[in-house]
Amino acid sequence: MHIVTKDNPFPSGLRGDKLQGAYYERMLNPDLSQYIVISPSPFSHQRFNEFMNKCLGTERINPNVAALGHIPSKDTLWLYKVMIFNVERIHHENQTIFSDNRKQYKEFIFDDIEKVLEFCKDEYNVMIGDFKKNWETNYPQW
């Protein structure tokens, strides 16, 4: 069991940053990189319920909850967006060009880091220790 706190969305052993996320880069060939990016966002069940009581609707309150497909448990501290995509190496020079040239983009939402790690392992054979901070990969910096 991996432990996260309200101050840290990532468990010990997963290199990441709560503002920028955690990154994995795989070279598919000399000209193409595949990225898996875990982007955390804080979740407050109390705040979510307050907004729901005002009848704002799930999509307006938190689009990640709408994409998740269910209301997270009361113990949920973080929601995790997992983005998977490929980018040709020639497009790594800046963030805008990089983002405009992502291919095979997929996005998934999770409410439990264990589910994120299981998904990454089962679908992409990526383990907890394979993730890094973005500056440790070829992901362009702002």
In the chain, the N- to C-terminal Cα span, in Å, equals 34
Measured CA to CA, the distance from residue 16 to residue 80 in angstroms comes to 12
pLDDT, tens only, 27-69: 999 999 999 999 999 987 667 766 666 665 555 667 888 888 8
Instruction: Output phi, psi for 44, to 5 deg.
Output: -120, 115
| Lowest-confidence segment of 26-30, 52-56, 90-94, 113-117 by average pLDDT | 52-56
Measured CA to CA, the distance from residue 66 to residue 64 in angstroms comes to 5
71 three-state secondary structure: coil
Give the range with max mean pLDDT: 2-11, 44-53, 104-113, 133-142: 104-113
pTM: 0.88
Using 50, 70 and 90 to split pLDDT, how confident is the model at 91? confident
Instruction: Output phi, psi for 130, to 5 deg.
Output: -80, -15
Tokens 């290199």, residue located: 15
Q: Which residue has the higher pLDDT, 74 or 40?
A: 40
Contacts of 4-9 spanning 24+ positions with Cβ under 8 A: 4/77, 4/78, 4/113, 5/77, 6/42, 6/77, 9/40, 9/42, 9/77, 9/78, 9/80, 9/113
User: Are 52 and 59 within 8 A, CB to CB?
Assistant: no
